[in-house]
Chains A and B, each alone.
Chain A
Amino acid sequence: QSALTQPASVTGSPGQSITISCTGTSSDVGGYNYVAWYQQHPGKAPKLMIYDVSDRPSGVSNRFSGSKSGNTASLTISGLQAEDEADYYCSSYTSSRIVVFGTGTKVAVL
């Protein structure tokens, strides 16, 4: 039941694309298509950005996209904007029937 591994920080310039990785095992990320991504601004509740690896909830910008290869999932933010500066967390359903979150990534926009 270890946390999924994410980079501590990712930095990009406005308009650029960045990708955040989320590495797990065959018992979580690699074994199920139940990976989600959340955005959290300081002092706020998390917001669902991607579910089921690559699906976007209604109202979420199409600049956000998700994918998975093996035991690693990825979130890509294209056309980076100042408002995208936030913490991002991945999560995955696991073989233990619980959910595990990633360690979190702070995105900075230069």
Chain B
Amino acid sequence: EVQLLESGGGLVQPGGSLRLSCAASGFTFSSYAMSWVRQAPGKGLEWVSGISAGRTFYPDSVKGRFTISRDNSNNTLYLQMNSLRAEDTAVYYCAMGYSSSSSWGQGTLATVSS
């Protein structure tokens, strides 16, 4: 059974940083592209990064501030978030896949507030 478990969320001040982690199990992690998707409170889904064949991609809303990476030896996906803004407040989901995501974690809440 595929399992994705996010951690690392919390309260951070504007301009601060957070590093999210996603522990994967139940599948050959290194063989799959992975994504991070966020959802602001009461809002829709927003794709914020993906990693595929060693290449990384970001929308303009987070480019230059967020960095996705992976450790295939430890089956873990990361999202380093810098220069955080209030509008980055959201539940962040780790998802298996890129153009479509067949499994999702339960999400971790990141709150940016002073």
Contacts and interface: CB of A to CB of B under 8 A. Distances in A.
B101 A98 contact: no
Contact of A97 (B57, B101, B104): B57
Contacts of B59: 1, 98, 100
A80 to B, nearest CB: 22
Contact of B47 (A47, A51, A57, A91): A91
B7 to A, nearest CB: 15
Interface size grouping (class) on chain B? 20 to 34
Interface string B61-81: 100000000000000000000
B73 to A, nearest CB: 26
B3 interface: no
B106 A99 contact: no
A93 B99 contact: yes
Contacts of B99: 32, 34, 36, 51-52, 91-93, 99
Contacts of B44: 3, 89, 101-104
A36 B98 CA distance: 11
Given A45-B105, A45-B107, A98-B50, A36 B100 contact: yes
A46 B93 contact: yes
Contacts of B107: 45
Interface of B: 35, 37, 44-47, 50, 57-61, 93, 98-102, 104-107
Interface of A: 1, 3, 32, 34, 36, 38, 40, 45-48, 51-52, 57, 89, 91-93, 96-104
